[in-house]
Amino acid sequence: MASLMRQSCLSAFRTPLATRNAAGVSQVVAFHASAKKQILPPEPQSIRGTMNDPAPIPTPHPSHGSYHWTFERLVAVGLIPLTIAPFAAGSLNPTTDAILCSLIILHSHVGFQASIIDYFPTRRVPKTASFMNWLLRGFTLTTAVGLYELETNDVGLTETVKRIWKA
């Protein structure tokens, strides 16, 4: 009875690479230096519905799909002339500099949000995805406040870049 209890207790600590031989003794497979380590546990292994059920269609939303893609491209394309113009034509007025700052903030936010959606899917890690989205919102707000302060109380973004470049 004691050896059976000992074997059942030890089975909880057995690595996935361990196997049992004919005598019931646990052996580790050859050529493995350590146990298999997984960062995240596997998703639940269950099948919802039958194999004849169609794939679920997500509900349409105006901020997803082609509108979202078009908005991202317009912001990216808008950055090109606003980035080149101050250095090609000299200093710009504060309004153009403020538009450049706004597009930089939008472009960065949308890009990081796409990374969060890709690497932290809500169905897999909902709490982490929510935390990362709130963290992104906080950093975006902090960046916006910092650029606003640079624009209103200092020389502006393009002039700052020029001074850093010439330093």
Annotated binding site for a ubiquinone: 119
Q: Which residues fall in the annotated binding site for heme b?
A: 107
Q: Which of 140, 4, 159, 149 is nearest to 90 (CA)?
A: 159
Annotated binding-site members: 107, 119
Give start and end residues of each alpha helix (H) in 23-125. Answer: 66-89, 94-119
Question: What's the token pair of residue 106?
Answer: 């939008």
17, 35 contact by CB (below 8 A): yes
Closest C-alpha to 20, from 33, 9, 7: 7
Helix (H, G, I), strand (E, B) or coil at 122: coil
DSSP state of 27: E
Give the gyration radius of the chain's Cα atoms.
28
Q: Are 6 and 13 in contact (CB under 8 A)?
A: no
